[in-house]
Amino acid sequence: MGTCMCMVVFFIFMLFLGALCEVAAIQNNVGFDFPSFTLDNNNITLLGDSFLWSNGVVRLTNVASTSSTGAVIYAYPIPLFHPPTTFASFSTTFTFSINNLNPASSGDGLAFFLSPNTTSTNLSLSAPLGLPSSFVAVEFDTHLDSRFGDPNENHVGFDVDSMKSLKTGDPILHGIDLKSGNTIIAWIDYDAGRTSLTVFLSYSLPKPVDPVLSVKFNLSQHLRNPVYIGFSASTQGITEIHQIQSWTFHSACAPARTRLHPHNVSVVGTVPISGSGSGSGSGGSGSVSSPSTNSTSKKHDKRVGFGVVVGGSVSFFVVFSVLGYVFVRRSRGGREEKFENGFVACPRAFDYKELKSATREFHPSRIVGHGSFGTVYKAFFISSGTIAAVKRSRHSHEGKTEFQAELSIIAGLRHKNLVQLQGWCFEKGELLLVYEFMPNGSLDKMLYKEPEVGRLLSWSHRMKIAVGLASVLVYLHQECERRVVHRDIKTGNILLDGNMNPRLGDFGLAKLMDHDKSPVSTLTAGTMGYLAPEYLQYGKATDKSDVFSYGVVVLEVACGRRPIEREGSKMVNLIEWVWGLHSEGKVIEAADKRLNGEFEEEEMRMLLLLGLSCANPDTAGRPSMRRVLQILNHEAPPITVPKVKPTLTFSSALPLTIEDIVSDTEEVFSTSRSVCEINFD
């Protein structure tokens, strides 16, 4: 083993020497090229609500009723200053589209920005346009905001640390409608010698002769090294979709070596900017290019060479240390097991001892809930002063299977209404997931707690929960590259953060599938009272099954009653009870009496009827989650709900009745024992 290690070290050292010999090939220009964006590289950072869409497209915002804000930035700083003070020229080309599901409304649009911010705090996004606190930006504005002196709702503006543009241009005069939904090519060029910035727009190649916007401005007076570049967008409650499809950037600067540390982000790809040689790539690999220059100074070459020597030395020792660490781990036999599909997508591997200590050795007093995967503990990490939720598996093969399912699914998902996965651990036969801690616990506990125990959920909070849950289901069903059917939507799996925003969790039963395929499961899994009739009968889970469960949750939120409750010797089904009131024209009487009438009657009526339409026994009568969100946003008319609840006839009789299911105990419906599995083999 020692001989092998020496050979490996020698080989790496020779590669290092070879790299030093190529110092002369390093050019003074840097650039990158993204024909598309994929999960296979790591040189962009997604912030806020932004996420990867299908076909290598980045969506900056999602469909939500509250303001959706997102950004994508190049993960490495761009040094736009030549030592000591000369500012560099640059050019960038990108394709984008702005589309609105409701043509009568419009969001804010999107912006290309440069920002000197270098900390996660300064990079926090804010509306409108989701720009950082300090920026130089070219905005593609689709909203007329009188506060900022906007000329119209279709303009290009040049902004510096303010949304009030220093100068604007009209793309309509050039035949471009920013809100058309068509793919638009944008060229932004900055000439440092002339201190001029120009913006060109077109639906196709070649580049136009006349710019949409031309500004005389010295960027060196408002930026400093390092500079981060990217795109941001916001919707301010409108269902506007902002997409970046491709992006290239070229600048005459030395290569950057420091990586931006993202905050609350998904990171995609890992290749830093490099000025050595030229790179080519396809399929969104983010190729790095270095066009040749006419001349470079010897002094600069020496500086670059010295930088490469220092950087190469550091890289050599880092690689040597990593190899040594791997050697030691292998010599000890290793502690972690590997899953069949691996677990490299997860953010962090926690040490078992660390989680055991943080939960006081999984003490019962730290238990905060139970789910399909296992028991959830509150964890205090003394070293960092942070709190997290640790989900611990059962000791079974099924537990491991569910663990793999939850890990593989949620690690690739990003939405503000999803519980964020922070890490994992698989040691000593234990399977554990680490999530951000939700201080207000689960929705069911908040919804059904006695008034003297804590505050009652207000009507505004209940509406926020209905909208947030609809938004995340739109994302799972329609905005993921592969559709996700959760299969266990219920109040116990909806957590509330400090601001009472809903967060959907517990993906142990979720299934991934292609958009053009219908999933068929031979095992019905989920929680009784939330399961759609066709799912119970045939074991076939679809997005419409989730819609049914969402409808039940909405009725719970509006009525303050569980899906199935025992009243004396009878079991009362919430859907049938509300539908009965609706048939008598008294649906508003289903409102939670504990609210004491403190709600908007029309909103309550809308929510109750929306819940019934989603919980329609007939799948064809249920709306899609996108339609649900549009109704909640008042962007689509409500669905007409029949006075009489539809009935379904199956080819074979359902083997269980509600009475059969719950006759022995009511604990079946408690959050601690909420998973029922019924085989129809």
Q: What's residue 156's pLDDT?
A: 96
Confidence (pLDDT) at 359: 93
Query: Omega of the bond prior to 226 within 30 degrees of 0, cis?
Result: yes
CATH superfamily of the domain spanning 452-679: Transferase(Phosphotransferase) domain 1 (1.10.510.10)
Closest by CA position to 389, among listed 403, 399, 379, 381: 379
Which residues have a Cβ under 8 Å from the Cβ of 397 and sit 6 or more positions away? Answer: none
Q: How confident is the chain (681 residues) per 10-residue block, as mean pLDDT? A: 51 48 45 80 79 81 70 86 73 91 70 75 58 90 83 92 91 90 93 93 90 93 84 78 91 50 35 36 41 38 49 54 50 41 57 92 86 81 86 62 65 83 82 86 84 73 95 89 84 89 79 47 58 78 91 96 85 93 96 93 96 93 94 91 80 42 33 29 31
113 CB burial (10 A radius; 0-12, 13-18, 19+)? buried
At 319 the pLDDT is 54
Top CATH class, 352-436? alpha beta
What are residue 184's DSSP bridge partners?
96
Whole-number pLDDT of residue 223: 85
Alpha-carbon distance 80 to 72, whole Å? Answer: 19
- The domain defined by 28-291 carries CATH number 3.40.50.720: no
- Residue 592 annotated among the catalytic residues of the structure: no
Determine whether the annotation assigns residue 645 to a binding site: no
For the whole model, what pTM was predicted? 0.51
pLDDT at 479: 83
Catalytic residue among 141, 488, 506, 546: 488
Distance of CA 539 to the CA centre of its chain: 29
Chain centroid to Cα 586, Å, comes to: 40
What was the pLDDT predicted at 484? Answer: 86
Contacts for 646 with CB less than 8 Å, ≥ 6 apart: 616, 617, 618, 621
Cβ 494 vs Cβ 553: under 8 Å: yes
Task: Output DSSP code: residue 577.
Answer: H
Of 89, 134, 128, 98, give the one whose Cα is nearest residue 113: 134
